[in-house]
Structure 1
Amino acid sequence: MMPSSTSYFPRSYADSRARFLAEAERLGAPAHSYAIDALGSEGEALATDVALIGAPDAQRLLIMTSATHGVEGFCGAGCQFSLMDDAAMLKRARQAGVALLLVHAVNPYGYSWIARTDEGNVDLNRNAQPFDGQPLPENPGYGELHPLLLPPEWPPSDENQRDLARYVAQHGQAAFAQAVSRGQYTHADGLFYGGDRPTASLSNLRRILEEHASRYAHIGWIDVHTGLGPRGHGEKIYAGRRNDTEVARARQWWGADVAVPYQGSSASVDITGHLAGLTYQACPSSAPTLMALEYGTVPFDDIVLALRGRNWLRAHPEAPDALRRDILQTTQDAFYCHAYDWHGMVLAQSRVAVLQALCGLQASE
Structure 2
Amino acid sequence: MAELFAAAPHPAAPAAQDAFAADYAAARSRFLAAAATAEAAVESFAHPLTGPSGEALATDTAWLGPADAGRVLVLQSATHGVEGFCGAGIQTDLLRAAPAPRLPPDTALLLIHALNPHGFAWLRRVNEDGVDLNRNFVDFAGPLPANAGYEALADALVPPATDAATLAAADAALAAYAADHGQRALEEVVTAGQHTHADGLFHGGTGPTWSRRTLESILARHRMAERRSVAVIDLHTGLGPYGYGELICDHPPGSAAVARARAWWGVSVTEPLLGTSSSGAKTGLVDYAWHAVGPQVVFVTLEVGTFPTGRMFEVLRADHVLHRTGAVDWQAPETRRIKAALRRHFYPDADDWREQVLWRSRQVVRQALAGLVAAG
For normalisation by structure 1, the TM-score amounts to: 0.94
**Helix, strand or coil at the partner of 2:236:** strand
1:242 CA displacement: 5.0
**Helix, strand or coil at the partner of 2:278:** coil
1:210-232 CA-partner distances (Å, limit 9, x unpaired): 11142321100000000100010
Q: Say yes or no: does 1:73 pair with 2:73.
A: no
1:55 CA displacement: 2.3
Counterpart of 1:147 in structure 2 is 155
8 Å contact 1:70–1:118 — kept in the other structure?
yes
8 Å contact 2:155–2:170 — kept in the other structure?
no
8 Å contact 2:38–2:100 — kept in the other structure?
no
Counterpart of 2:248 in structure 1 is 237
Tell me: CA distance 1:74–1:213, structure 2 relative to 1, closer, same or farther (3 Å). Answer: farther
Q: Say yes or no: does 1:83 pair with 2:91.
A: no
Q: Say yes or no: does 1:54 pair with 2:65.
A: yes
Alignment partners' CA distance in 2, 1:91 and 1:347: 21
1:186-224 CA-partner distances (Å, limit 9, x unpaired): 111100000111101110001001111423211000000
1:272-327 CA-partner distances (Å, limit 9, x unpaired): 2111221244x34x600110000001100000011101111111445781111111
1:29 CA displacement: 0.9
Tell me: CA distance 1:188–1:99, structure 2 relative to 1, closer, same or farther (3 Å). Answer: same
Alignment partners' CA distance in 2, 1:330 and 1:33: 30
1:155 CA displacement: 7.1
**Given the alignment, which residue of 159, 168, 175 partners 1:158?**
168
Q: Say yes or no: does 1:180 pair with 2:190.
A: yes
Alignment partners' CA distance in 2, 1:56 and 1:135: 39
Alignment partners' CA distance in 2, 1:199 and 1:124: 7
What letter is aligned with 2:159?
P
Alignment partners' CA distance in 1, 2:100 and 2:272: 31
Alignment partners' CA distance in 1, 2:287 and 2:156: 31
What letter is aligned with 1:142?
Y
**Helix, strand or coil at the partner of 1:147:** helix
Counterpart of 1:170 in structure 2 is 180
What letter is aligned with 1:223?
D
1:106 CA displacement: 0.4
1:145-199 CA-partner distances (Å, limit 9, x unpaired): 1101111334763333233222222221011101110000111110000011110
Alignment partners' CA distance in 2, 1:158 and 1:135: 35
1:46-81 CA-partner distances (Å, limit 9, x unpaired): 110000011234210000000000000000001001
8 Å contact 2:80–2:120 — kept in the other structure?
yes
What letter is aligned with 2:115?
V
Q: Say yes or no: does 1:296 pair with 2:314.
A: no
**Helix, strand or coil at the partner of 2:239:** strand
8 Å contact 1:52–1:102 — kept in the other structure?
yes
Q: Say yes or no: does 1:130 pair with 2:100.
A: no
Structure 2 residue runs of 5 or longer lacking an equivalent are 1-7
8 Å contact 1:70–1:111 — kept in the other structure?
yes
**Helix, strand or coil at the partner of 2:31:** helix
Alignment partners' CA distance in 1, 2:252 and 2:139: 14
Alignment partners' CA distance in 1, 2:310 and 2:280: 15
Alignment partners' CA distance in 1, 2:172 and 2:67: 59
**Helix, strand or coil at the partner of 1:229:** coil
| Count of paired positions | 360
- Identical-pair percentage: 42
Alignment partners' CA distance in 1, 2:163 and 2:296: 48
1:43 CA displacement: 1.2
Alignment partners' CA distance in 1, 2:289 and 2:346: 25
Counterpart of 2:5 in structure 1 is none
Counterpart of 2:108 in structure 1 is 99
Counterpart of 1:27 in structure 2 is 38
Q: Select between 170-179 and 342-351 the one with higher mean Cα deviation.
A: 170-179
Question: Which runs of structure 2 are paired with 1:30-49 in the superposition (5 Å)?
Answer: 30-49=41-60
RMSD between superposed Cα atoms in Å: 1.8
8 Å contact 1:61–1:213 — kept in the other structure?
no
What letter is aligned with 1:344?
E
**Helix, strand or coil at the partner of 1:119:** coil
1:108-139 CA-partner distances (Å, limit 9, x unpaired): 0100000000011111111111111x211111
Counterpart of 1:116 in structure 2 is 125
**Helix, strand or coil at the partner of 2:352:** helix
Alignment partners' CA distance in 1, 2:65 and 2:138: 32
8 Å contact 2:253–2:274 — kept in the other structure?
no
8 Å contact 2:253–2:271 — kept in the other structure?
no
Q: Select between 62-71 and 16-25 the one with higher mean Cα deviation.
A: 16-25
Counterpart of 1:257 in structure 2 is 268
